[in-house]
Amino acid sequence: MRRLRQTKIVATIGPASGTDEMLERLFRAGTDVFRFNFSHGTHAEHAAQLQRVRALEERVGRPIGVLADLQGPKLRVGRFANGKVSLETGQAFRLDLSAEPGSAERVQLPHPEIFAALHPGARLLLDDGRLCLGVTACGADFADTQVVAGGTLSNNKGVNLPNVVLDVSPLTEKDRRDLEFALEIGISLIALSFVQRPEDVEEAMRLINGRAHLISKLEKPTAIDKLEEIVDLTDGVMVARGDLGVELPPEMVPAIQKRIIRTCRQAGKPVIVATQMLESMITAPTPTRAEASDVANAVYEGADGVMLSGETAVGQYPVEAVSMMDRIIRHSENDPAYPELLNAGQAKPRRTTADTITESASRASATLPAAAIVTFTISGVTALRASRRRPLVPILAFTPSLWIARNLAGAWGIHAVLAEMMDDHLDMDALAVKVATDENFAKGGDHLIITTGLPLHVLSPTNVMRLVQIQHEKT
């Protein structure tokens, strides 16, 4: 089941893709990580889906990543007496805490934390930015506004506050229950929504307590102000362009995406680009040319993965969407200009033994050239360090931990293999050669570059590199 690409694909499970047959078709089409969206579905439904994914994992003999995406706080207006109202640009409109049905003059905003953060001059975006309100006066339980951009506003539409830090945890009571459940059933990748500041990441890390890796979703402009600190604290990042695109002017989003990817690559943290990548394929069998370019740009920038949401969760063409994304990635990575563009965002190696070895392995893989870089890793760090260098050959990562193997499934260029750690480097070489040839990464005469940390069986930093040439089969 070797993938002929380095960039990974994350696909969201939903009504269109939740059967055994569809999960296998999505995997064989190219899915590396399945996303469980905890904004929808019951715990029982998620548990059943996880059983299906694990059964698929057994059938195909490959570690498959699973990502539990927590909902996070949902800021919404209340309900209207007639279901909706029309707001005219320039008119006055009040937001308050009263549960009375709304009208064209006012509506409930059941979030005291928003009123606490508002000030005259602040702006509120409603319904994914389709309407805009400017605050003229406010207090602890109300905000008087003027409609800056009008339109129809209906029940329970979302509220965004650009450049306003809310005194609210990214983990609601529902999220805390969902998080504990996800950890109990063995999901080892957790996506945290509504990250505003480093303290949000620290709170989630305390609750997870080493039981999973945390992916911080960057969807709030305030998080970008603390980007380096957040990346340093987290295990990975998702560029969640949905809310980010609502709260930022559209022209700023591409540059922010590039900055996030560059920062993650410098830190050696996996980064996923998400939202609206092939959105037209929810209802159409092919994407727009702009969407294809969007996916390709993320590949050229060196993102670890690209994600499908509604395309595979509720779309009419889920398998076709994964297949199309796979083809776009492979074509982009085969572009003669790809290595140069990829190297433009290359991180500088740190002055450590581990980075020296990894840098040497990456350079040697191009000089020989080698068929693959092989890492033996307990924690996954050696493999991620190799991935950070973005070598133009596959990375075979041998680990005794199925937990780590599943999480490495979403990292750039890594083909994770479950294997016991060995005491002798000759046994390690033999295993590397066997897997590399059996799974069509290499053939007789090819070289493998093997890195690991000694002594084995403990968490040692990467400190050894060996070159192994595969012998031709005797005839």
User: Residue 2 domain-assigned?
Assistant: no
Active site residue 390: no
Q: How does the average pLDDT of the chain come out, rounded?
A: 94
**Structural domain includes residue 208:** yes
Each residue of 354-388: pLDDT tens digit? 889 999 999 999 898 999 999 999 999 999 999 99
Confidence of residue 35 (pLDDT cuts 50, 70, 90): very high
324 falls within a domain = yes
User: 0.85 cut: is pTM over it?
Assistant: yes
Q: Indicate the residue type of 193.
A: S
Q: Is 129 a member of any domain?
A: yes
- In this prediction, residue 141 has a pLDDT band, given cuts at 50, 70 and 90, of very high
Average pLDDT over residues 36-63: 97
303 and 174 within one domain: yes
* pLDDT band, residue 163 (cuts 50/70/90): confident
Q: Which position among 8, 217, 241, 269 bears the catalytic label?
A: 217
Which domain CATH number covers 116? 2.40.33.10
Q: Which of 33, 32, 31, 50 lies closest to 41, judged by CA?
A: 50
Tell whether 366 and 446 lie within a shared domain: yes
Q: Do 272 and 194 share a structural domain?
A: yes
Least confident interval from 85-94, 163-172, 333-342, 429-438: 163-172
- Residue 348 is predicted with a pLDDT of 78
Residues 234-283 have pLDDT tens digits of: 999 999 988 888 888 889 999 999 999 999 999 999 999 999 999 999 99
Does 275 participate in catalysis according to the annotation? yes
Catalytic residue among 12, 31, 145, 275: 275
Rounded to an integer, the average pLDDT of 40-49 is 96
Whether residue 343 lies inside any domain: the answer is no
pLDDT of residue 309: 96
Range in 47-61, 103-117, 204-218, 445-459 with the lowest mean pLDDT: 445-459
Query: ∠74-78-82 over CA atoms, to 5°?
Result: 140
340 found inside a domain:
no
Instruction: Based on the fold, state whether residues 240 and 138 are members of the same structural domain.
Output: no
Q: Does pLDDT of 3 surpass 60? A: yes
Query: Would you list the DSSP string of 282-304?
Result: GTSSS--HHHHHHHHHHHHHT-S
Strand 372-376, strand 106-108: pairing: unpaired
299 — pLDDT class (breaks 50, 70, 90): very high
pLDDT recorded at residue 91: 97
Average pLDDT over residues 228-238: 98
Catalytic member of 25, 52, 74, 76: 76
At 475 the pLDDT is 54
Catalytic residue among 3, 5, 8, 35: 35
User: What's the CA gap between 297 and 46, in Å, rounded?
Assistant: 33
Q: Indicate the residue among 121, 138, 160 that finishes a domain.
A: 160
Q: Both 148 and 174 in a single domain?
A: no
Instruction: Say yes or no: 66 and 110 in one domain.
Output: no
Domain ranges, residue 209 = 8-73+170-335
Kindly tell me if the per-residue pLDDT of 78 is higher than 80. yes
User: What is the model's pLDDT at position 472?
Assistant: 83
Q: Look at residue 241 and give its three-state secondary structure.
A: helix
pLDDT tens string 424-469: 888 999 999 999 999 999 999 999 999 988 777 677 788 889 999 9
- The number of angstroms, rounded, from the C-alpha of 435 to the middle of its chain's C-alpha atoms is 28
- In this structure, the answer to whether residues 214 and 244 fall within a common structural domain is yes
Considering the domain architecture, whether residues 326 and 462 belong to the same structural domain is answered as no
Q: How confident is the model at residue 474 (pLDDT cuts 50, 70, 90)?
A: low
Same-domain pairing of 152 and 198:
no
Q: Which of 139, 160, 181 is the last residue of a domain?
A: 160
283 and 405 share one domain: no
Distant-in-sequence, close-in-space partners of 217: CB < 8 Å, separation ≥ 6: 69, 72, 191, 192, 193, 194, 195, 237, 238, 240, 274
Helix axes 198-208, 173-184, angle to 10 degrees: 40
CATH of the domain at 47: 3.20.20.60
Residues 392 and 269 in one domain: no
Number of independent structural domains in the chain? 3
Phi, then psi, of 45 in degrees rounded to 5: -65, -40
Residues of the chain above pLDDT 90, percent: 84
For residue 386, give the CATH number of its domain.
3.40.1380.20
What is the rounded CA–CA span in Å between residue 340 and residue 119? 48
Outline where 334-450 has alpha helix (H).
338-343, 353-367, 381-388, 402-408, 425-438
| 62 occurs within a structural domain | yes
Same-domain pairing of 98 and 61: no
Question: How many C-beta atoms surround the C-beta of residue 139 within 10 A?
Answer: 11
Domain boundary (101, 134, 160) is at 160
Residue 25 lies in a domain: yes
